[in-house]
A and B are shown apart, each in its own frame.
Chain A
Amino acid sequence: MNRRDFIRTSVGAGLLVSAYPRSLFARFRAQERRGTMFDKIWDAHVVANLGGETDLLQVDRCIGGSPTQVMRLVREGVELRNPEMFYNVPDHTVSTSPERYDDPSLGWGWQAYEELAGEMRDMGFTKAFGQSDPRFGIMHVVGPETGLSQPGMVLCAGDSHTCTHGAMGLISWGGENSENILRTGTVIRRRPRTMRVNIVGTPGPGIRAKDVILRTIAQLGTDSGTGYAVEYAGPVVRALSQEGRFSVCNLAVEMASPTGMVSPDDTTYEYLAGREFAPSARYWDQAVEFWRNLPTDDDAVFDREETVDMTGVEPQVTWGINPEHAIGIGERIPDPDDAPPSKRATYRQAIEYSRLTPGEPILGTPIDEVFIGSCVESRIGDLRAAAAIVEGRRVASTIASAWVVPGSNAVKAQAEAEGLDRIFRDAGFEWRESGCSKCYGSNGDYVEPGHRCVSNSNRNYIGRQGRDTNTILASTTTVAASAIAGSIADVRTFL
Chain B
Amino acid sequence: MIGEKGRGTMGQNIQRGGHRFEAHEGLAAPFMFDNVSTDVIAPALTNLTEGLGAPRAGLGSNRGATAFANIRYDADGSPRPDFVFNQEAYRTASIMIVGKNYATGSSRVTGVTRPLVAWGVRVYIGESFGPIFLTNAVQYGVLTVELPRETLSEIVEWVESHHGVRMRVDLERQLIEMPGRDPIPFETDPRVRNKLLNGLHDLEEIEPHLPAARTLREQDMQERPWIYQPGDGR
Given the known inter-chain contacts A180-B202, A462-B70, please indicate yes or no for A175 contacting B136, CB distance below 8 A: yes
Query: Are B75 and A50 in contact (CB-based, < 8 A)?
Result: no
Is A203's CB within 8 Å of the partner chain B? no
Query: Are B35 and A324 in contact (CB-based, < 8 A)?
Result: yes
Is B60's CB within 8 Å of the partner chain A? no
Given the known inter-chain contacts A175-B132, A467-B49, please indicate yes or no for A280 contacting B231, CB distance below 8 A: yes
Query: Are A82 and B217 in contact (CB-based, < 8 A)?
Result: yes
Query: Are A256 and B191 in contact (CB-based, < 8 A)?
Result: no
Is B189's CB within 8 Å of the partner chain A? yes
Bound CA–CA A53/B209 (angstroms): 17
Identity of the chain B residue whose Cβ is nearest the Cβ of A274 in the assembled complex: B234
Across the interface, A442 reaches (CB within 8 A) one of B35, B45, B133, B219, namely B45
B33: A residues at CB distance < 8 A: 345-346, 349
Query: Are B40 and A158 in contact (CB-based, < 8 A)?
Result: no
Bound CA–CA A278/B39 (angstroms): 35
Report how many A-B pairs have Cβ atoms within 8 Å. Answer: 208
Query: Are A322 and B43 in contact (CB-based, < 8 A)?
Result: no
Residues on A close to B: CB < 8 A?
24-27, 47-48, 50-54, 56, 58, 60, 82, 84, 108, 147-148, 150, 152-153, 158-160, 173-177, 179-180, 183-186, 188, 190, 222-223, 226-227, 253-254, 256-258, 276-284, 286-287, 290, 322, 324, 342-343, 345-346, 349, 440-444, 446, 449, 459, 461-468
Across the interface, B190 reaches (CB within 8 A) one of A24, A52, A346, A466, namely A52
Query: Are B191 and A50 in contact (CB-based, < 8 A)?
Result: yes
Query: Are A462 and B107 in contact (CB-based, < 8 A)?
Result: no
Bound CA–CA A56/B47 (angstroms): 38
Task: Give the shortest distance, in Å, between A36 (CB) and chain B (any CB).
Answer: 19
Is B131's CB within 8 Å of the partner chain A? yes
Is B228's CB within 8 Å of the partner chain A? yes
Query: Are B209 and A175 in contact (CB-based, < 8 A)?
Result: no
Query: Are A253 and B233 in contact (CB-based, < 8 A)?
Result: no
B209: A residues at CB distance < 8 A: 47-48, 56, 186
Task: Give the shortest distance, in Å, between A84 (CB) and chain B (any CB).
Answer: 6
Bound CA–CA A114/B211 (angstroms): 36
30 A–B contact pairs at CB < 8 A? A24-B223, A58-B216, A84-B229, A84-B230, A153-B227, A175-B133, A184-B203, A186-B213, A188-B205, A223-B128, A226-B128, A254-B104, A256-B104, A258-B131, A280-B232, A280-B234, A286-B226, A287-B224, A287-B226, A346-B33, A346-B34, A349-B33, A441-B46, A461-B37, A461-B39, A461-B40, A462-B39, A466-B47, A467-B75, A468-B75
Across the interface, A160 reaches (CB within 8 A) one of B46, B106, B210, namely B106
Query: Are A346 and B35 in contact (CB-based, < 8 A)?
Result: yes
Is B225's CB within 8 Å of the partner chain A? yes
A54: B residues at CB distance < 8 A: 189, 191
Query: Are A175 and B217 in contact (CB-based, < 8 A)?
Result: no
A290: B residues at CB distance < 8 A: 223-224
Given the known inter-chain contacts A177-B202, A280-B229, please indicate yes or no for A465 contacting B47, CB distance below 8 A: yes
Bound CA–CA A467/B220 (angstroms): 48
A256: B residues at CB distance < 8 A: 101, 104, 128, 130-131
Mark contacts of B65-108 with chain A using CB atoms, 8 A cut-off: 1 yes-contact digit, 0 otherwise.
00000110001000000000000000000000000110011111
Query: Are A26 and B231 in contact (CB-based, < 8 A)?
Result: no
Given the known inter-chain contacts A56-B206, A58-B216, A258-B131, please indicate yes or no for A223 contacting B101, CB distance below 8 A: yes
B45: A residues at CB distance < 8 A: 442
Given the known inter-chain contacts A276-B234, A446-B47, A463-B40, please indicate yes or no for A51 contacting B35, CB distance below 8 A: no
Given the known inter-chain contacts A188-B205, A223-B101, A465-B47, please indicate yes or no for A147 contacting B230, CB distance below 8 A: yes
Query: Are A281 and B234 in contact (CB-based, < 8 A)?
Result: yes
Bound CA–CA A148/B230 (angstroms): 7
Query: Are A24 and B222 in contact (CB-based, < 8 A)?
Result: yes
Bound CA–CA A185/B131 (angstroms): 22
B10: A residues at CB distance < 8 A: none
B190: A residues at CB distance < 8 A: 51-52
Across the interface, A177 reaches (CB within 8 A) one of B128, B139, B191, B234, namely B139
Query: Are B202 and A188 in contact (CB-based, < 8 A)?
Result: yes
Is B55's CB within 8 Å of the partner chain A? yes
Task: Give the shortest distance, in Å, between A386 (CB) and chain B (any CB).
Answer: 25
Across the interface, A462 reaches (CB within 8 A) one of B37, B56, B232, namely B37
A24: B residues at CB distance < 8 A: 222-223
Max count, chain A CB within 10 A of own CB: residue among B16, B39, B222, B232? B39
Bound CA–CA A278/B233 (angstroms): 11
Query: Are B203 and A443 in contact (CB-based, < 8 A)?
Result: no
Across the interface, B228 reaches (CB within 8 A) one of A58, A84, A227, A461, namely A84
Bound CA–CA A290/B226 (angstroms): 11
Across the interface, B189 reaches (CB within 8 A) one of A184, A190, A277, namely A190
B107: A residues at CB distance < 8 A: 158-160, 174-176
Mark contacts of B140-159 with chain A using CB atoms, 8 A cut-off: 1 yes-contact digit, 0 otherwise.
00000000010000000000
Task: Give the shortest distance, in Å, between B12 (CB) and chain A (any CB).
Answer: 14
Given the known inter-chain contacts A84-B230, A283-B226, A345-B32, please indicate yes or no for A174 contacting B132, CB distance below 8 A: yes
Bound CA–CA A196/B145 (angstroms): 28
Bound CA–CA A442/B227 (angstroms): 33
Is B61's CB within 8 Å of the partner chain A? no
Across the interface, B135 reaches (CB within 8 A) one of A175, A286, A342, A467, namely A175
Is B175's CB within 8 Å of the partner chain A? no
Across the interface, B101 reaches (CB within 8 A) one of A173, A188, A222, namely A222
Mark contacts of B93-129 with chain A using CB atoms, 8 A cut-off: 1 yes-contact digit, 0 otherwise.
0000000110011111100000000000000000010
Query: Are A184 and B210 in contact (CB-based, < 8 A)?
Result: yes
A324: B residues at CB distance < 8 A: 35
Query: Are B202 and A223 in contact (CB-based, < 8 A)?
Result: no
Query: Are A462 and B226 in contact (CB-based, < 8 A)?
Result: no
For the A-B complex with A52-B191, A442-B46, A461-B105 known, give 18 more contacts whose Cβ atoms are closer than 8 Å.
A24-B222, A50-B205, A160-B108, A173-B132, A174-B132, A177-B202, A180-B202, A184-B210, A222-B101, A223-B101, A223-B128, A227-B131, A256-B131, A257-B131, A277-B231, A287-B224, A441-B47, A461-B39
Is B169's CB within 8 Å of the partner chain A? no
